[in-house]
Structure 1
Amino acid sequence: MSLDHYVTLGRSGLRVSPFCLGAMTFGEDLGWGSSVKDSEAILDRYIELGGNFIDTANLYTKGHSEKIIGDHLGHDREKRDRLVIATKFSGNLYVGDPNGGGSSRKSIVAACEQSLRRLRTDYIDLYWLHNWDKFTPIEETMAALHDLVRSGKVRYIGVSDTPAWKVAQAQLIAQFRGWAPFIGLQIEYSLLERTIEGELLPMAEELGLGVTPWSPLRSGVLSGKYTRQNGLKPEVRPWAANYLDEQSYVVIDELQRIAKELDTTVARVALAWVQARPTVTSTIIGARTLAQLDDNLKALDLKLTPAQTASLDALTKPKLNFPADFLELARMIQAGGTTINGQPSQLIPFGVTKKGDHY
């Protein structure tokens, strides 16, 4: 598979690359990340290889990420128009301004205008709600986003890092009122973060949201640079160190084994696992250097065997919240896969008794 093997995002006609270029590392304003020159080189390589999906946010490197993209691409209208540029709102760049962030109509419209200026464009292809603002009624947020779509300043909308029940509420409100719906769901997903399989992924499939996972390498923990042998070094970033426990090393050991079998890298195996998951449309990959980008992109050519996938699944199967286990038992009973009192059983409604037993 290549970057120009485009796929539609969710229940829409928007065609995007199977790997999305994440731009959170663009800019060194926070003391880490890529220089402007390196960021531009990464953009050029991704586009040259057929990539068309770029993801940033107003908050990334205090707005510099958006500006780097705009300064580099904004002067070439033809190139800009063939790209799908996604950015996010919710983050507050203005300390002391209570309306500088969040999901109110005032903050959404202001954030959109500011992003348009930094990106040097007159429209945003995909505008993400970065995270849920519990202090703003979801009707207000969805109405404001619909107005931006109608105005032409935004083409599509998506939602990130929000509980499944709230996303479902927002999506159904939009459906009933004829407003623009979410077409994408951006969430953390990796071999070390699979709890979303309980509620968020099934919701996305049911409501027509294409899933775009972020942090598929768990903040670099699954990049291959951390092993039992090298242990924790002083240069390990704090958030990566938080994930380096025994369970992580068990997964890393298996990734190393599979990578050796396939003559590839640990990072590519971890990325290939995520991209092959049901409901995943386009995985967001970040890179600080061209070498990292080139290495990660090769994961598109990697296909795990059923046995390799099964071994990784078994090692990382998450414990899901109620009623996941109960519903699985119900499905087994309905399919005749279990017994009650030693007899093959079918699901029996609560409160109904049979032969003196209460189920």
Structure 2
Amino acid sequence: MEETLGAFDDLARPSRIRSSGAGNLATWRLERARNLSAAQGWLPYTYLQLRHTYLRPRPLTRLAESGHTLATDKTLEYARAEPDVTLWVYNTLMAGAYTRADRPIPEIYHHPGTTRRLAVLREVAAEVGATLNQVVLAWLMADGYVPIVGVSTMAQLNEAIGASDVRLDDELRARMDAAC
């Protein structure tokens, strides 16, 4: 960790980079890295990239993809408490599982809460006149997260970009958050 953080700081000194971050790092390791940077006067991590979407996995579930790390409630709380930390979230649309019948929702999301969250997601999408994907992305962005989206067509790109125009008021967000 010291070698990595020191190397990033070395890049920041001649202004080759302005900020740094880590991917798939547990919250405690992020905090340790930020404390080490503070103690050494180094550039701290201000970005963290984790897997996160609207649906919630079953507790204590292991991902099939061993290199991926799910955002936990602790990580989300940490990001809210540290205004200079931004979460970049991936697998936000679960490879099309929200909208494509040929892309089933991954098994880690198979529990009664998913059924309820999907119902609320559909209601909200209908109310605001947006697609399910756009509402998921708008919900993530409303919390200050930066969604990472992969697309394979221009229509998918345009749909994703359209999420920036979707406004979820406090009542809609509260309703989406309460579904479990």
**TM-score band, normalised by shorter chain:** 0.7 to 0.9
Tell me by how many angstroms 1:307 deviates: 2.9
Per the normalisation by structure 2, the TM-score is: 0.78
> Structure 1: 5+ residue runs without aligned partners?
1-137, 227-232, 317-359
Q: Which residue of the other structure, out of 50, 65, 87, is the alignment partner of 1:187?
A: 50
Query: Any conservation in 1 of the 2:56–2:114 contact (CA below 8 Å)?
Result: no
Contact 1:221 1:243 in 2 (8 A): no
Specify the alignment match of 1:312 in structure 2: 176
Deviation, structure 1 residue 152: 4.8
**Residue of structure 1 equivalent to 2:24:** 161
SS of corresponding position for 2:130:
coil
Q: Which contiguous aligned blocks of 4+ residues in structure 1 show a shift greater than 4 angstroms? A: none
**CA contact 2:55–2:114 (8 Å) conserved in 1:** yes
Greater strand share, structure number:
1
CA 1:244–1:186: 2 relative to 1, 3 Å: closer
- Aligned residue for 1:149? 12
* Matched-pair contact (CA < 8 Å) for 1:171–1:207: no
Is this contact kept in 1: 2:55–2:109, CA < 8 A? no
Task: Give how far 1:169 is off.
Answer: 0.9
Among candidates 88, 92, 96, match of residue 212 of structure 1:
88
CA distance in 1 between counterparts of 2:149 and 2:93 reads: 9
Q: Identity over the aligned pairs, expressed in percent?
A: 26
Question: Is residue 289 of structure 1 aligned with residue 164 of structure 2?
Answer: no
Q: Please give the per-residue CA displacement for 1:6-45, whole angstroms capped at 9, x wherever unaligned.
A: xxxxxxxxxxxxxxxxxxxxxxxxxxxxxxxxxxxxxxxx
Q: Which runs of 5+ in 2 are unaligned?
A: 58-69
The normalised TM-score by structure 1 is: 0.42
Pairing of 1:192-271 with structure 2 (within 5 A): 192-193=55-56, 196=71, 198-204=73-79, 205-206=81-82, 208-222=84-98, 224-226=99-101, 233=102, 236=103, 240-243=105-108, 245=110, 246-271=112-137
Match in the other structure for 1:68 = none
Q: Which amino acid aligns with 2:148?
A: I
In structure 2, what is the Cα distance between the partners aligned to 1:304 and 1:291?
23
Deviation at 1:181, TM superposition (A): 1.1
Q: State the alpha-carbon separation in 2 of the partners of residues 168 and 244 from structure 1.
A: 28
Shift of residue 163, structure 1, vs aligned partner: 1.1
Query: Aligned letter for 1:198?
Result: D
RMSD: 2.5
Aligned residues: 166
CA–CA distance in structure 2, aligned partners of residues 187 and 193 of structure 1: 14
Answer with 1 or 2: which has the greater Rg: 1
